[in-house]
Amino acid sequence: MLLNYPMYLYTWTAIQKIGAITVHLNTAYKGDMLVFTLNLPDVRCMFIHKDYLPNLLHVKDCLATLKTLIVYPEVPEEKIRNLNMYHVKSF
């Protein structure tokens, strides 16, 4: 869930180069629709813009396979500290 910034294009290109599969999300998704869209394809890693982080935090306990979260741009540590995931990185 990234905005239309150059970072989106760089991220998408890098994901394609390593052979991973991208799942494009409507940035307006919240609640059950966001959970369904992330759980259906077994999403394990997510790049997310800090503006959409609150949408994800509301449903974090319902996400079965999401283990890695990469937040852009950098956010304060206290906003992402309590996520129950293996890896959370903000840059």
For position 16, what pLDDT does the model report? Answer: 93
Judged against a pLDDT cut of 60, whether residue 85 lies above it is answered with yes
For position 14, what pLDDT does the model report? Answer: 92
Q: Which residues, 6 or more positions from 30, have their beta carbon under 8 angstroms from its beta carbon?
A: 55, 58, 59
From the list 90, 4, 1, the residue with the least C-alpha distance to 38 is: 1
Each residue's pLDDT tens digit, 15-53: 999 999 898 899 999 999 999 999 999 999 999 888 998
Please provide the average confidence, as pLDDT, over all residues in the chain: 86
The Cα–Cα gap between 59 and 48 comes to 14
For position 38, what pLDDT does the model report? Answer: 93
52: amino acid identity, one letter: Y
Judged against a pLDDT cut of 80, whether residue 79 lies above it is answered with no
